[in-house]
A = this chain, B = another copy of it.
């Protein structure tokens, strides 16, 4: 049923790189990392392997609003948060996957549910501080 996957060096390097980088690398970041030790790899191969590994469940893919997809070596379901100012992207710890949601939505939509993704959006502590300072600045001006 599932196609046979050959265990190439490139495939192993891609898995290793995503695990090493840990923090949701993009395809570009994975490529950059692998090139260090295996300069001949091509970007196309990285993309092909990432897709293949996601398809067979060895990696997770996270779609990031206004940005490149990111790849995750953590396979357990979890949520993510993106800073709307600097773009920093990280896991949300402490919030477990909401189990009942999929069932509720299945009942409401008659879809055969697979899963759901939540991306939280807000200002990271640094950016929140910076934004406050900016605002203080503006209030000081008489400009509109």
Q: Do A115 and B121 touch across chains, with their CB atoms under 8 A apart?
A: yes
Considering only residues 104-131 of chain A, those with a C-beta below 8 Å from chain B are: 104-106, 108-125, 128, 131
- A65 on interface, CB distance cutoff 8 Å: yes
Complex contacts, A123 vs chain B, CB 8 Å: 111-112, 114
Kindly state the separation between the CA atoms of A65 and B118 in the bound complex, as whole angstroms: 12
Interface of A is mostly: mixed
Chain A residues 1-18 with CB under 8 Å of chain B are: 1
Interface size on A, residues (CB 8 A): 41
Tell whether A76 is near chain B: CB-to-CB under 8 Å: no
Which residues of the other chain, B, contact A94 by a CB distance below 8 angstroms? 104, 108
A59 to chain B, nearest CB (A): 15
Are B111's CB and A128's CB within 8 A? yes
Are A81 and B1 closer than 8 Å at their CB atoms? no
Asked if A37 is at the interface of the complex by the 8 Å CB criterion, the answer is no
Q: Which residues does chain B contribute within 8 Å of A104, judged by CB atoms? A: 94-95
- A105 to chain B: which residues have CB within 8 Å? 79, 81, 92, 95, 120, 122
Q: Are the C-beta atoms of B109 and A128 separated by less than 8 Å?
A: no
Determine the chain B residues whose CB is within 8 A of the CB of A21 once the complex forms.
none
